[in-house]
A and B are shown apart, each in its own frame.
Chain A
């Protein structure tokens, strides 16, 4: 076990993947000499050279589109999108080519591309730097979508994502980049699995990315008031691994789903719909959600209002318990 920040854990995961497989390339804006605006690729250009760590021209469609071409040629590109709000110029390539190539070629052309996206708010940034667009990718057949929440997962999930033969949209909780945690000697779980990160008996709380820490803190606060929350880190948003959630809800009878993203037609709606299909007879309360609002991300002085925090999670937990 080694203790490191989430950013460093990603960095060492990328490094390990690059050492293991010479076909792994890192590409994106400012990922070379600068090491990325969050320093996630720090030192990689120096150690692996400009042939494997590509400072690209400023164009996201270019980054994704050429990564698809490189993958067709047998490389395993790991693309960095600088901020969540800047993925959209590349969205066409993601949806039209990256997601569909395997299907269109009847499996003859796999495209093992990873698209890393720092996501979520809470860093006091200007517009387009704090968004949670994961549902826009989870909705697209052919893509896998995952979100890490802590250094251990960051390190191992990025390695697993690079090893995966499917395209993976890899969300990184940017406001947690500088938080430290232990990284295990081997992968703690499969890439497409959810995990119970805190056991409890009264209410199940399913969450992912930056809100896992928030929900764990809420669980600690709830415990001091005599309520026991079971917290599940979904980790994989598409496919969803809901077995642990269903098993948990069968015991607690209550589910709260938390996310920073707007609630409408989202990952949280999907979780709610599927859990009620599976757990209709054991649910004691409707599945409730605590999310961002169905509005554009606000100016940062309002982000504490927009983002679900400990109080809002507990408020919804209380509402669940009141049924």
Chain B
């Protein structure tokens, strides 16, 4: 056995090799031959034998709808960034570049399906009918999520990476136990669980896969592979394309162009249908790119090259739909102008709401910690509220 005491690390000071230089470039992978695509970055419709039929009903009106969704979501996302810069939000987690991955998935859901998001799923929230202003509290620090997760069928954002994959699996097991799978298309349900490429290294995600497989749970694991986990590139998390991992757990995995809203819709519809009919779980890898910083606290110039972003801008999820609508379907400028106007109005409403948000009162700290609160906690609250009042409520 070699003696660890005598181990000498290699000298990092030596001249950079070609490998070192190339290792500075990430996110250049085009997705490979198995990438499902229905709308090219140039705005051309292409067919896919397996999934094309899933969106046969999508005509110009539907496409205009998805375009509108993406523009509106991007617009309030940009406003979130601006509000953080102006000190109105503590942080904002941008979804820039992931609009198609989220709208495609979100528009495939029925009102019965359940969603477990991570923390970047503002576009999915939008599709669940959650007003964007309801997201603000998390980032302003007034609440941990203001919507009713059960009513919206959209769970609270989960920040601890990977946790929700097990929670989603358990929920899906419940759907199955209640007979809401593989029976009646009017009542069948599925669960969709969102997480990132970095999250796939987390034990909870692996365990979620194992459990979902063991119980045939109707859950779609929807991984948005945006190529980065803060500063850590995809290569650090996996040797194989992420969708291929599903095979090892015994269920299907599909890689879809995450910047193609039609393909994301088609694959999500298929995946959810598989689950609802009792063939779950399914893994979908939406191959996309985080076009902005990880959060407003992050500075990506420290770890990735701007060239990467320039390349991905050519694959922008919104632009390709616009080009398609104009060139192939002859949609005129009035439509785009009206969406623009609507998005500006949404941003203004989003901003106004944010500026007017009241802080919660101190009693919120003590509420709903328990169904049955201890006398000690009651006393802590009473003591603190009396103390707080002694400052005239101005502490």
Q: Contact between B237 and A293 (Cβ–Cβ < 8 Å)?
A: no
Tell me the smallest distance from the CB of B211 to a CB of chain A, in Å: 16
Shortest Cβ distance from A42 into B: residue: B302
Segment touching B, from A124-132, A145-153, A208-216: A124-132
Within 8 A of B (CB), among A54-74: 55-59, 61-62, 73-74
Q: Contact between A305 and B388 (Cβ–Cβ < 8 Å)?
A: yes
- A35 at the binding interface (Cβ < 8 Å): yes
Tell me the smallest distance from the CB of A27 to a CB of chain B, in Å: 12
Tell me the smallest distance from the CB of B50 to a CB of chain A, in Å: 31
Q: Contact between A55 and B231 (Cβ–Cβ < 8 Å)?
A: yes
Within 8 A of A (CB), among B201-219: 201-204
Q: Contact between A34 and B201 (Cβ–Cβ < 8 Å)?
A: no
- A217 at the binding interface (Cβ < 8 Å): no
Taking CB atoms, residues of chain B closer than 8 Å to A315 are 387
Q: Contact between B360 and A30 (Cβ–Cβ < 8 Å)?
A: no
Tell me the smallest distance from the CB of B205 to a CB of chain A, in Å: 9
How many angstroms between the C-alpha atoms of A33 and B12 in the bound complex? 14
Interface centre among A56, A57, A59, A293, by most chain B C-beta atoms within 10 angstroms, is A59
Q: Contact between B377 and A89 (Cβ–Cβ < 8 Å)?
A: no
Pick the contact of A126 from B139, B364, B366, B391 — CB < 8 Å? B139
- A284 at the binding interface (Cβ < 8 Å): no
- B143 at the binding interface (Cβ < 8 Å): yes
- A29 at the binding interface (Cβ < 8 Å): yes
Contact with B along A96-139 (1 / 0, CB 8 A): 00000000000000000000000000001111110000000000
Pick the contact of A58 from B140, B232, B297, B303 — CB < 8 Å? B232
- A225 at the binding interface (Cβ < 8 Å): no
- A164 at the binding interface (Cβ < 8 Å): no
Within 8 A of A (CB), among B49-83: none
Within 8 A of A (CB), among B146-172: 159-162
Pick the contact of B359 from A295, A302, A312 — CB < 8 Å? A302
Taking CB atoms, residues of chain A closer than 8 Å to B161 are 58, 86
How many angstroms between the C-alpha atoms of A85 and B160 in the bound complex? 8
Tell me the smallest distance from the CB of A133 to a CB of chain B, in Å: 13
**Contact A37-B138, Cβ < 8 Å, known A58-B161, A301-B360:** no
- B371 at the binding interface (Cβ < 8 Å): no
**Contact A295-B369, Cβ < 8 Å, known A33-B302, A301-B141:** yes
**Contact A49-B231, Cβ < 8 Å, known A61-B203, A86-B160, A301-B141:** no
Taking CB atoms, residues of chain A closer than 8 Å to B144 are 127, 299
How many angstroms between the C-alpha atoms of A49 and B8 in the bound complex? 12
Taking CB atoms, residues of chain B closer than 8 Å to A49 are 9-12
Contact with B along A79-95 (1 / 0, CB 8 A): 00000011011000000
Taking CB atoms, residues of chain A closer than 8 Å to B283 are none
Q: Contact between A33 and B231 (Cβ–Cβ < 8 Å)?
A: yes
Tell me the smallest distance from the CB of A251 to a CB of chain B, in Å: 29
Tell me the smallest distance from the CB of B52 to a CB of chain A, in Å: 35
User: Beyond A46-B12, A59-B201: 9 further Cβ-contacts under 8 Å?
Assistant: A35-B302, A48-B12, A74-B5, A74-B7, A75-B4, A298-B360, A298-B365, A301-B142, A302-B141
Q: Can you spell out 9 A-B residue pairs with CB atoms less than 8 angstroms apart?
A: A22-B8, A23-B7, A33-B303, A47-B12, A51-B10, A55-B231, A59-B202, A296-B369, A300-B90
What 5 A-B pairs come out closest when comparing CB atoms?
A: A74-B4, A49-B12, A300-B141, A34-B231, A57-B201
A interface list, Cβ under 8 A from B: 22-23, 29-30, 32-35, 37, 46-52, 55-59, 61-62, 73-75, 85-86, 88-89, 124-129, 293-296, 298-306, 311-312, 315
B interface list, Cβ under 8 A from A: 3-5, 7-12, 90-91, 119, 137-144, 159-162, 198-199, 201-204, 229-232, 236-237, 297-298, 302-303, 359-360, 362, 364-366, 369, 376-377, 380, 384, 387-388, 391, 395
